[in-house]
């Protein structure tokens, strides 16, 4: 990676210096440090993780602390009733992932209506508590009580309402019949109205839930009194037995290479393969010779690669506990070369974007792409790096904003609405990998990613919300950094586009030059250009970059993002 990026950030960098817990720390959208870094969608959540780093915790400890804190300060996008995926690249050489995606209740079948968006029948069995407690137990160094203390403090003592959460609460106010819901209203609309920006948001019920988890671990959520309250809130949609059966799973991370860098991503039921395959295809082109992020030739090549990668997602990617995904074929260099040959640098492949999948099976003898050795924006991402070189990327979600809009009474958190991420039953698609089934995890597009450089040192920890735009945003940000040598802040700020099968237009965010848009149209793309302010649907990247021993964290510019570093 090119040296000198840090100089581009000096005008907006802030260094946070930490002492032992409890500690007052500050976070900014861009921060630097040498001994650890946290970037998340909210500065208070990043501070929570930084406190744990300052107290001697490792990246996993800090990531778990941040993840629980996010459920307090960004309740519209993350919750104890949610799910996620964690990718870990440890200093001892191990690359792995923790799958804590939600799964369907035990009574469902392929005729279950998977299109329901709100209420109990939109809900899957949550995995967040199981996943975070598993990560801490297996790879952390601190106790649950220690890492959850900042989140409990935020819930009990409150935090100032920011403009981003204010907007989301304004939407919820309408959903809940002007804040009169007897469970939600007293917490988020205490006076029957949306609180003013700067008002203190207190959730004592959630503090109680967090305290129970801190004391009892996952037992509190899946078997204790909280479990009873969850089943009651779901009106029988799933049972206590469904909750008790849930398990988070440790999986091998998927490993690919891009420009000599090692890309470590999430396994097949999310979008790690889409990111890896798109980068594999683009490895056949010298993007650095082009004019940068707004060069129409570069946009064209990246869009076509993303289209080809997304075409392989539907027929080949699903819950690996139910299907054998042709992983080594999809990740092989030979397959990427075959797919790249379909790209015409001078014309859009298929203007309608209905591109057929490839056939990865002839390439299954390629080197194994795993390593276990030494449309809603309501998702959030956390990136963490410690001084030893342990890196953690977590993307967690409740699917739509406010999930199912069902809050668990007495415990202050919303349940997810993940069931709609399954495909409904279609007799013409009997081989569909994403048809709903008991205890099956739906396919989504989460893409937490860690990149190590040519010296195998952590270079980038990255991820984003953004629903179906997640793979496009992650790929473009990585390319902006590696190929176009942009600072991380500039790489994240640069406007984005999304390219995927099933969407006939190349959807481009406001900020691209008119000349770029016209050139793309001349290449045959059907362009939908969104002019105006940056669109958060294109993601809210929270990432960390390392150069010459200096860690720079960037919290999302499109949300209330913040980074906190330790020096």
The full set of domain ranges for the chain reads: 1-158+202-465+542-567
What pLDDT score was predicted for residue 19?
27
* Contacts with 131 (C-beta within 8 Å, 6 or more apart), sequence order: 83, 84, 86, 98, 99, 100, 248
What pLDDT score was predicted for residue 365?
56
Single out the catalytic residue among 328, 355, 379, 498. Answer: 379
What pLDDT score was predicted for residue 429?
52
| Residue 460 host element (H or E) | strand 458-462
What pLDDT score was predicted for residue 378?
63
What pLDDT score was predicted for residue 352?
58
- Going by C-alpha positions, the residue among 341, 389, 443 that lies closest to residue 102 is 443
Distance CA 8, CA 5 (A): 5
Q: How far is CA 274 from the centre of its chain?
A: 14
What pLDDT score was predicted for residue 21?
29
Structure token digits, residue 382: 């956390």
Alpha helix stretches (DSSP H) within 9-143: 43-54, 59-73, 128-139
Phi, psi of 515 (to 5 degrees): -65, -35
Tens of pLDDT, residue by residue, the chain (567 residues): 333 332 323 222 332 323 222 333 445 889 999 999 999 999 999 999 999 999 999 999 999 999 999 999 999 999 999 999 999 999 999 999 999 999 999 999 888 988 899 999 999 999 999 999 999 999 999 999 999 999 999 999 999 999 999 999 999 998 888 788 999 999 999 999 999 999 999 999 999 999 999 999 999 999 999 999 999 999 999 999 999 999 999 999 999 999 999 999 988 777 788 999 999 999 999 999 999 999 999 999 999 999 999 888 877 877 888 878 888 888 889 989 999 999 999 988 876 556 777 878 777 754 434 433 334 456 899 999 999 999 999 999 999 889 999 999 999 999 999 999 887 665 555 457 888 999 999 988 888 999 999 888 999 999 988 777 889 999 999 999 999 999 999 999 999 998 888 777 888 988 899 999 999 999 999 898 875 444 556 778 999 999 988 999 999 887 778 899 877
Q: Tell me the whole-structure pTM to 2 decimals.
A: 0.90
What pLDDT score was predicted for residue 435?
86
* 454 part of the active site: no
């Amino acid at each position: 990676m090119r040296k000198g990026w840090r100089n581009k950030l000096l005008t907006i960098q802030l260094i946070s210096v930490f002492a032992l817990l409890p500690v007052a720390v500050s976070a900014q959208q861009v921060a630097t440090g040498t001994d650890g870094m946290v970037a998340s969608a909210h500065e208070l959540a990043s501070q929570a993780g930084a406190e744990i780093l300052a107290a001697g915790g490792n990246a996993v400890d800090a990531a778990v602390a941040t993840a629980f804190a996010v459920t307090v300060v960004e309740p519209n996008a993350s919750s104890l009733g949610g799910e996620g995926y964690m990718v870990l690249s440890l200093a001892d050489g191990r690359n792995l992932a923790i799958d804590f995606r939600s799964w369907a209740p035990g009574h469902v079948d392929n005729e279950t209506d998977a299109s329901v968006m709100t209420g109990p029948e939109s809900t899957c069995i949550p995995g967040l508590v199981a996943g975070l407690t598993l990560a801490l137990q297996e790879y952390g160094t601190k106790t649950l009580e220690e890492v959850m203390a900042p989140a409990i403090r935020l819930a009990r003592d409150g935090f100032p309402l920011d403009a981003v959460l204010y907007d989301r609460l304004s939407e919820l106010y309408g959903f809940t019949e002007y804040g009169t819901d007897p469970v939600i209203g007293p917490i988020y609309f205490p006076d029957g109205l949306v609180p003013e920006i700067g008002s203190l948001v207190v959730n004592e019920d959630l503090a109680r839930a967090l305290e129970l988890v801190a004391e009892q671990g996952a037992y509190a959520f899946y078997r204790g009194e909280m479990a009873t309250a969850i089943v009651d809130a779901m009106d029988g949609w799933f049972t206590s037995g469904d909750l008790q059966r849930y398990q988070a799973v440790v999986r091998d991370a998927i490993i690919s290479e891009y420009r000599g860098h090692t890309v470590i991503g999430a396994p097949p039921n999310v979008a790690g393969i889409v990111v890896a395959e798109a980068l594999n295809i683009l490895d056949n082109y010298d993007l650095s010779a082009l004019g940068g992020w707004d060069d129409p030739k570069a946009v064209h090549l990246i869009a076509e690669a993303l289209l080809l990668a997304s075409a392989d997602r539907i027929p080949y990617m699903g819950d690996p506990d139910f299907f054998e995904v042709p992983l080594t074929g999809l990740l092989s260099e030979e397959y990427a070369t075959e797919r790249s040959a379909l790209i015409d640098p001078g014309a859009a492949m298929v203007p309608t974007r209905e591109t057929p999948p490839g056939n990865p099976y002839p390439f299954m003898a390629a080197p194994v792409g795993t390593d276990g050795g030494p449309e809603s924006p309501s998702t959030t991402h956390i990136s963490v790096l410690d001084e030893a070189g342990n890196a953690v990327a977590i993307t967690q979600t409740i699917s739509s904003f406010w999930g199912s809009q069902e809050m668990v009474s007495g415990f202050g958190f919303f349940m997810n609405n993940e069931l709609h991420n399954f495909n409904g039953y279609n007799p013409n698609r009997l081989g569909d990998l994403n048809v709903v089934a008991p205890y099956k995890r739906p396919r989504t597009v989460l893409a937490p990613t860690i990149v190590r450089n040519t010296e195998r040192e952590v270079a980038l920890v990255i991820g984003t919300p953004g629903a179906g735009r997640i793979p496009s945003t992650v790929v473009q940000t990585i390319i902006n950094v590696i190929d176009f040598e942009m600072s991380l802040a500039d790489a994240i700020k640069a406007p984005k586009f999304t390219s995927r099968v099933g969407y006939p237009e190349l959807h481009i965010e406001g900020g691209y030059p008119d000349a770029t848009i016209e050139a793309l149209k001349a290449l045959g793309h059907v362009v939908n250009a969104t002019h105006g302010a940056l669109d958060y649907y294109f993601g809210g990247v929270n990432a960390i970059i390392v150069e010459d021993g200096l860690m720079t964290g960037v919290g999302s510019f499109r949300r209330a993002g913040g980074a906190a570093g330790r020096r």
